[in-house]
Amino acid sequence: LQGIFVLGLPYALLHSGYSGLFLLILAAALCCYTGKILIACLYEENEDGQPVRVRDTYEDIANACCKKLSPKLGGTIVNVTQVTELLMTCILYLVVSGNLLSHSFPSVPVAERTWSAVAFVTLLPCVFIRTLKVVSKLSQLCSLVHFMIVLVVMTYCLTQIQQWSWAKFRLSIEFEDFLVSVGVIIFSYTSQIFLPTLEGNMRNPGEFRCMLSWTHSLACVLKTTFALTAFLTWGEDTKEVITDNLPSFLQTLVNLCLLTKALLSYPLPFFAATEIVFVCISRGNHSNYRPPLFALGVRGSFLLLTLLMAMFIPHFALLMGLTGSVTGAAMTFLLPSLFHLKLQWNKLSCLEKCTDISVFILGSLCSLAGIVCSIKGLLGAFG
C-alpha cells in the first residue's frame, strides 16, 4: 500500500486539483471494500451458520463462479491475469533500479540497461525464497526504507512552508490529465492480488477485516499528507516523480534509498508469481513436494525473463500503463465485485448488491479510459 506509486501522487494532485484529495479517500475506501468482499468469497457457511474457508486462492474463487461454463475457465483467466500483472511489476522494479543507478552515478559511462543487469545480480538470491515469512521480513525492511524517503521529502517541504499557497490548486482540469491522475491514485492502493495468500497465512485470520480497515485508513492519511505537503511546496513545478524536485545534495541520497526500496519490493510479486506457476504445474500432484532442482529452475527462469523484458521492451512505461489498466482494474474492481455477486447473491442485502454493481461499473469505466489513454500514448510514441 506504500509503494513507489506514492511518489507520483503530488503530480496526480497537480492534474486533478481539489478532486484529487477526494479521490485519495474514495480509492482507499473502494480498495478496502473490494479486498474484504474478495476474502468473503473464500468462505461458505456450514450447517451451524459458521463461516468455513472452502477456497484458498483467487483461482479457486474464479473456478467456483465459472464451473457451469467450464471447471477451469475462470481459474485460467485469473492466473494469466495475475502472472501478467506480477511479471510487469517485477520488470518495473528492474527498470526503475537501472534508472536510479544511472542517475545516482552520472559520471560512470554505463547505459541504463547495464545498470538493470547490475541490479539483477543482487536479486539472484530470490531463487532460494521458499516461504512467505522470508518475503515478509524483506517487505518490512522495504517499509522502513519507504518511511525514510517520505521523512526526507516531508522534512524538506516543511522547511519551505513559507512558500505554501492553496492558490496553487486547480479548479478547472483537463479530462485526459484527470484520467491519468485517477489511474495513479487508484493503483497506488491495489493489493487484492496478494490478499488470499496473506489471509491464509495469518496467525489469526479473524482479524483480517480489521487489519484491512486500519491499513487502508492509515495509508489514506499518509498518502494525502505526503501528496498535499509536496504539492503545496512545488505547485506547478511538481514533477512526475517528486524526488526529482529535491535539491541535488538530497537527490543522490533519496535515489539510493529508492533503489534499496525497489530491490526489496521485488521479492513479493516474484514469490507470488512463482507460487501460481508451481500450483498450475503441480496440479494433481502433492502440492507440498517440489524437486529442489525443478523449483530452482522455475524461479531462475522467471528471474531471467524479467531481466530480458526489462532490457529489451521499448516504451515500457506506456505498456505498463496499458497492462495496468486491463489487469489492475480487473483484479481490483471488476472480478471481486462480480464474484461476490455470483457466489453470495442470496445472502446480500439490496445495499450490498447496489454497491457491488456500482464498483463494477466504476472499474469498467476506469479500465476503458486507461486503455484508451495508453493506446493513444503508444501510437504517439511509435509515430
DSSP assignment letter at 235: G
Q: Which residues contact 153 (CB under 8 A, 6 or more apart)?
A: 226, 229, 230, 242, 243, 246, 254
Predicted pLDDT at 51? 86
Contact indicator for 17, 346 with CB cutoff of 8 Å:
no
Residue 256: all three cell numbers together: 539510493
- Range list of H helices, the chain: 9-16, 18-40, 58-66, 73-104, 112-122, 132-159, 175-187, 195-201, 208-234, 248-265, 267-281, 292-312, 316-323, 329, 335-344, 350-381
Least confident piece of the model among 160-164, 198-202, 285-289: 285-289
Contact indicator for 40, 340 with CB cutoff of 8 Å:
yes
Residue 93: all three cell numbers together: 522494479
Range 106-110 average pLDDT: 83
Kindly report, residue by residue over 203-223, the tens digit of the pLDDT: 899 999 999 999 999 999 999
Kindly report, residue by residue over 42-101, the tens digit of the pLDDT: 999 888 878 899 998 888 899 999 888 777 888 888 888 888 888 888 888 888 888 888
Range 324-348 average pLDDT: 86
**How far is Cα 300 from Cα 302, in angstroms, rounded to an integer?**
5
Q: Give the Cα-Cα-Cα angle 377, 371, 181 (nearest 5 degrees).
A: 75
Predicted pLDDT at 187? 72
Q: Which amino acid is at 252?
A: T
Contact indicator for 233, 163 with CB cutoff of 8 Å:
yes
Range 170-197 average pLDDT: 76
Predicted pLDDT at 319? 64
Predicted pLDDT at 211? 95
Strand, coil or helix: 286: coil
> Which bin fits 291, alpha (ψ -120 to 50), beta or left (φ > 0)?
beta
Kindly report, residue by residue over 116-159, the tens digit of the pLDDT: 899 999 999 999 888 888 888 888 898 889 888 888 999 999 99
Would you give the distance in Å from CA 350 to the centre of its chain?
31
Label residue 2 by pLDDT band (50, 70, 90). low
Range 219-244 average pLDDT: 88
Name which of 288, 227, 268, 340 is nearest 93 in CA terms. 268
Pairing between β-strand 43-45 and β-strand 51-53 as defined by DSSP bridges: antiparallel
Predicted pLDDT at 354? 96
Predicted pLDDT at 199? 92
| Structural domain boundaries, residue 42 | 5-382
> Which bin fits 313, alpha (ψ -120 to 50), beta or left (φ > 0)?
beta
Range 178-201 average pLDDT: 80
Share of the chain above pLDDT 90, in %: 26
Predicted pLDDT at 352? 93
**How far is Cα 105 from Cα 109, in angstroms, rounded to an integer?**
9
Predicted pLDDT at 321? 63
Give the total number of structural domains in the chain: 1
Here the CATH number for the domain that contains residue 184 is: 1.20.1740.10
**How far is Cα 34 from Cα 77, in angstroms, rounded to an integer?**
19
- Give φ, ψ of 53 to 5 degrees: -75, 105
Kindly report, residue by residue over 259-315, the tens digit of the pLDDT: 898 899 899 889 988 888 887 877 655 445 567 787 888 889 999 999 998 888 756
Predicted pLDDT at 38? 94
Predicted pLDDT at 324? 67
Q: How many residues does the chain have?
A: 383
Q: Which residues contact 363 (CB under 8 A, 6 or more apart)?
A: 329, 330, 332, 333, 334, 337
Higher per-residue pLDDT: 83 or 379: 83
